[in-house]
Amino acid sequence: MPELVWALVFVRALGLGAAAGVLALAVTYSGMLAKVYAEILESSDQRAADALLSGGSGRLMALSYGLLPNAAQELVSYTVYRWECAIRASVVMGFVGAGGLGQLMDQAMKLLNGGEAATILLVFLLLVLLADALSARLRKMLD
CATH (domain of 30): 1.10.3720.10
For residues 124-130, average pLDDT: 86
Backbone phi, then psi, for 82, in 5-degree steps?
Answer: -70, -30
| pLDDT (0 to 100) of residue 73 | 85
Residues 3 and 93: beta-carbon distance below 8 Å: yes
DSSP 19-46: HHHHHHHHHHHHHHHHHHHHHHHHHS--
For residues 98-117, average pLDDT: 83
Domain count, the chain: 1
The pTM assigned to this predicted structure is 0.73
Cα(16)–Cα(98) distance, integer angstroms: 6
Domain span including residue 110: 3-142
Residues 50-93: tens digit of each pLDDT: 999 999 989 999 999 999 988 988 898 888 888 888 888 888 77
Cα(85)–Cα(65) distance, integer angstroms: 30
